Chain A
Amino acid sequence: MPEPVGPAEARRVAEAALDLPGADAVEVLFLHEWGGLTRFASSHIHQSTSREDTGIRVRAVSEGRTGVAATNEFSVEGARRAAASALEMARVAAPDPLFPGLAPQAPLPDAGDRFDEATARATPRFRADAVAALVGAVEDPAFHAAGAFETSAAEVAVATSQGQFCYAPTTQATISTVVSGGEGGAGISESAAGRMGDLDPERTGRRAFAKASGSQRPRQVEPGRYDVVLEPLAVSTLVAFLAYMGFGGKGIAEGRSPFSGKEGQRVCGEAVSITDDALSPDTLGLPFDFEGTPKRRVTLIDRGVFVSGVHDRRSAKQAGVESTGHALPAPNPDGAFPLNLFLAPGEATLEDMVRTTERGLLVTRFHYSNIVHPIETTITGMTRDGTWLIENGQVTAPVTNLRFTQSVLEALSNVRMVGRDTELAAEFSFAASRVPALAISGFTFSGRSDH
């Protein structure tokens, strides 16, 4: 396993870039990532990889102009070269009237220990054994499993010439599988955690197999308006797209967000509260953002009322507020983004939701979704890996996949029940959302597929 670089060495290399003659200010983002991924298909391991990379990204400021250069040459010389390149770019850039300055020294919140030695040191053999346990849970030889088990570790540090230095090591483990076979139909299960010991590969395999075996011989139903019970994976798609379309402070200020000018107004049902909280022990996040600003918990929607978006230093200046600690790596024309979303749980079980649905669909997940109308928050996508018809409060038959075209905010305005249990969906490094299942009245399916 690669050894962590550690805060002292990260600071030593960063200081070579911070000491940049001719620059008014400098920011250095340090990132060291390593890990392995064991990928399987047709119930055998077909692609397994390991990688390690160490990079630095330098933002140089000269007379209100900024330039950025990145390199994976992690050394004092590499840092100096990147810094010089960043300054060269800054000198030809136009001044940014909204440039807010770099992050000042500020204490970091306590996010707890998020580095698990065992996860960081996971071996190919360990991952292969875990995959074998997952595949072994697929009891019927007519079915097969595909998926991936990834263990990864990272060290992130940000240093600014304004005196801020922050460093955090983290680990992450994710396991996912799609089981398919028999006479058509498939099922998915996935889970993520900061420690691989918190994952249960065999249970992951069992859940996916149960879904796959329960979705055999799917029948076709007509597209149209259905009541739905969305499992957490499906809900995470709605929440992620809502965040992408709307929660960034820059888009809100510029009138590009569905929440522009909606502060304090009702935007969806009272049952819906959404926050972003990287500091929660129930997510996978960093205690600071990529500008070095400490993370804050932000209430985005409180019982159906839009409260505020998230900010980096630039959009905060534009809005006349403080950064909430949601900057992405520079340069970032799209602005701040919430990486650790929570949709507050309710009290219902999935069984409660199904039992109270007269006629509707139970949806496991959505696939390949995309935006149709960003202000109306309309997106389209397909169901996948387990969709069932509900009749008279009971799941009666698996159905072939349907295309939905639906406004997210309209769906969240029609939430009938909110699930008691939440699941964590890891989207990419340092980003995950934790959401429950939702029962929604009236959800538009605009087309269907043949499987």
Chain B
Amino acid sequence: MLDVVQHAVEAARRAGAGYADARWVAEETESLTVRNQEMEGIDRALSQGIGIRVLVDGYWGFAASARVTPEDVEHTAGLAVEIARAASRLPTDPVRLSPVEPVTASWSTRVQEDPFTVPLDEKVALLMEASRRMQAVKGLAFGEAILDFYRRRTSFASSEGAAIQQTITNSGGSIAATAIGDGEVQRRTFPGSSRGGLLAAGYERVRTLPLVQEAERVASEAVGLLSAKDCPSEVTTLILDGEQMMSQVHESVGHPLELDRVLGMEEAYAGTSFVKLEDRGTLRYGSDKVTLVADATSDGGLGSFGFDDEGVPAQRVVLVENGVFQDFISSRETAPVLGDGAASAGAMRADGWQNLPLIRMTNINLEPGEGTLAEIIGDTKDGIFMTTNTSWSIDDKRVNFQFGCEVAWRIKDGRLTEMYRNPNYTGITTEFWGSCDAVGGREEWAMWGTPNCGKGQPGQVARVGHGTAPARFRGVQVGVR
């Protein structure tokens, strides 16, 4: 479809655009949900169309349509230009784009087995067996198993001469066990909640996920939580597993370091950030154990690609190094405010063809430290270990947060003891990261995926990645009532 997007760019230029780019996107999805060995949902979807973005006298316009005949494309390009001209109704400084070398390239997720060609009955059989094993645990109300597959094919062209084709494939699955009783609904999931388990990969990802093998444990823990005590309210040492660290990184590092938020471009909806432009190189974000990167080249990450939706190559950007804030997640429009010829960090992505690219997290990774989870727990005299996110909330500048987890255990003298239900914890972003005194080593580090990151108006959903290891924090308020 390169010819279609190149035609769109030419049409936009003829209509008056100083700069134009166009993306044709076809997104295929397949989703299967089995609950108590009944099919709750099995569906496929295909959505394709073109999105055309233009700059006219330094003002943005964007128009998108599912219609891609030459005449329709010209109409959509003209509409994008009309929108840009209308934006000048409130004059401001014209947009300047940081330079990027236009390339002709193609890139695809490394896929060993196309998930869309694996027979449906094989997928259903896997989910049925996982569900059956969960149901075999006495007292369980629901055993749910799901598979999700996405394939996005993009053709991108810009008036600067870029011509890029990409195919990104995401595959994954998870199980969830729900127990109900005595005023409680308790749920355990594997490998993660919120349709977790998704990575940039083919069906081989599903083949290596032990959904069936973990089913009994997950179901037993859900039932066990019904009779567990509530997590006590106290200030204590907190150890989080890698899955919860994904949410912690996502909400309290990824979002506040998006440069569009810092510049107020998301103020009315998602909010802004406590981080300021002048904080680079000076703000103490966390302890010296804390190093975080935005790495679109990470293997298997949902935020991995060859080029972002502005044609900027994937890259690795250090955000926080040994606790000190270093850099933002940026775009071609926002990078120039950083001065010194700053280039885009390559983080612009759009939700399908229908939406304008926004700064989105790529893979925001917490770099590994040292030691296993068992060693970190073994080195803890008293505290709480929490695992698997259930709930997240953070203020509009990303300062005060509160998270809930599926389950917690008391740590006593280096050992996990009593299990608690309904655990949660709260904190202030820089204080919390400043209290981090251990991050698990490479052997504990894993890539996780957030499939439902929301941002923008109209609302967009992005799939983003987070490589994390378990970590320990001191003096944390847990058990918020």
Contacts and interface: CB of A to CB of B under 8 A. Distances in A.
A90 B43 CA distance: 9
A424 interface: no
Nearest to B399: A449
B426 interface: yes
B397 A449 contact: yes
Interface in A29-82: 36-55, 57, 65-74
B275 to A, nearest CB: 13
Contacts of B61: 48, 124
Given A71-B45, A72-B48, A94 B38 contact: yes
Contact of B47 (A55, A132, A332, A371): A55
Contacts of A12: none
B480 A124 contact: no
Interface in B176-208: 178, 180, 183-185
A40 B91 CA distance: 12
A37 B399 contact: no
A52 B73 CA distance: 12
Contacts of B266: 41
B185 A375 contact: yes
Contacts of A90: 42
Given A375-B185, A403-B400, A370 B42 contact: no
Q: Place the interface of chain A in its size category.
A: 35 or more
B88 to A, nearest CB: 8
Contacts of A41: 263-268
A72 B391 contact: no
Interface in B388-425: 390-397, 399-400, 402, 404, 422, 424
B265 A47 contact: yes
Interface stretch (A111-119, A146-154, A316-324): A146-154
B42 A331 contact: yes
A405 B45 CA distance: 39
Given A67-B42, A447-B426, A449-B397, A49 B63 contact: yes
A184 to B, nearest CB: 11
A382 B396 contact: yes
A67 B64 contact: no
A52 B65 contact: yes
Contacts of A65: 39
For B83, B263, B356, the residue with the greatest tally of chain A CB atoms inside 10 Å of its CB is: B83
B35 interface: yes
A85 B40 contact: no
A420 interface: no
Contact of A124 (B66, B82, B271): B82
Nearest to B91: A44
A88 interface: yes
A110 interface: no
Interface string B26-59: 0000000111011111111111110100000001
A21 interface: no
A379 B61 CA distance: 39
B267 A50 contact: no
Contacts of A146: 264, 267-268
Interface stretch (B120-128, B309-317, B341-349): B120-128
Contacts of B480: 372, 380, 405, 446-447
A333 B33 contact: yes
Contacts of B120: 88-89, 92
Interface stretch (A100-108, A161-169, A173-181, A352-360): A173-181
A93 B86 contact: no
A385 to B, nearest CB: 8
Nearest to A147: B268
Contacts of B43: 67-70, 86, 89, 330-331
B187 to A, nearest CB: 10
A293 interface: no
Contacts of A150: 457-458
Interface string B59-89: 1111111110000000000011011111101
Which 8 A-B pairs have CB atoms at the shortest separation, nearest pair first? A331-B41, A68-B43, A124-B86, A128-B89, A93-B39, A44-B92, A146-B268, A70-B45
Given A372-B404, A380-B480, 19 more contacts: A37-B457, A46-B87, A48-B84, A50-B79, A51-B51, A68-B42, A93-B42, A94-B124, A123-B82, A125-B89, A132-B89, A146-B264, A146-B268, A333-B41, A371-B390, A372-B424, A382-B396, A401-B396, A447-B480
12 contacts: A47-B356, A48-B61, A50-B64, A51-B63, A67-B42, A72-B47, A86-B44, A150-B458, A332-B41, A380-B393, A405-B480, A449-B399
Interface of A: 36-55, 57, 65-74, 85-86, 88-90, 92-94, 96-97, 123-125, 127-129, 131-132, 135, 144, 146-148, 150, 176-178, 180, 188, 254-256, 330-333, 367-376, 380-382, 384, 401, 403, 405, 428, 444, 446-451
Interface of B: 33-35, 37-49, 51, 59-67, 79-80, 82-87, 89-92, 120-121, 124, 128, 141-142, 178, 180, 183-185, 263-269, 271, 274, 354-356, 390-397, 399-400, 402, 404, 422, 424, 426, 428, 456-459, 480-481
